[in-house]
Amino acid sequence: MQEYCNKRVIMANSVKKNEHCYTYIVECADGTLYCGWTNNLEHRIAVHNEGKGAKYTKPRLPVELVYFEEFDTKEEAMSREWNIKQLSRSKKDELIHGFHKNATND
C-alpha cells in the first residue's frame, strides 16, 4: 500500500506547469464505470487497456473513454474526480450523456 501511495504522490508531483490535467470516466467491458485523473489522457487510457492501470479496471478490460474534462491544475482535476466519484450511477450516466450530446452538436 505504501508503494502505491508513493507512486501516486510522485505522479501527482510530476505534472509540469503549462500541462493540462484531465478528469475522465471510462466504461469497463462489464458495463461499470471508473473515474480517474491524469495529465496525459491518451497514454492513461492505453495504460488501463494494457492492464497496468487501476486495480479496478485490470479484470474488466477493455475500457473505453466515455467522458473527460480538462483543467489547468492537478488540484482541480483531482477535486473534480472526487466530486464525480460521489455521484450516483444515474448522475454519472447523465453527465456522460450530456457530454456526448454536446460533442455531436459541435
Per residue in 21-62, pLDDT (tens digit) is 999 999 999 999 999 999 999 999 999 999 998 999 999 999
Residue range(s) defining the domain that contains residue 91: 2-105
**In the block, which residue shows the cell 475522465?**
24
Could you give the CA distance from residue 23 to residue 2 in angstroms, rounded to a whole number?
24
- CATH number of the domain that residue 58 is part of: 3.40.1440
**What is the number of domains present in the chain?**
1
With cut-offs at 50, 70 and 90, classify the pLDDT of residue 1: very low
pLDDT at position 18 is: 54
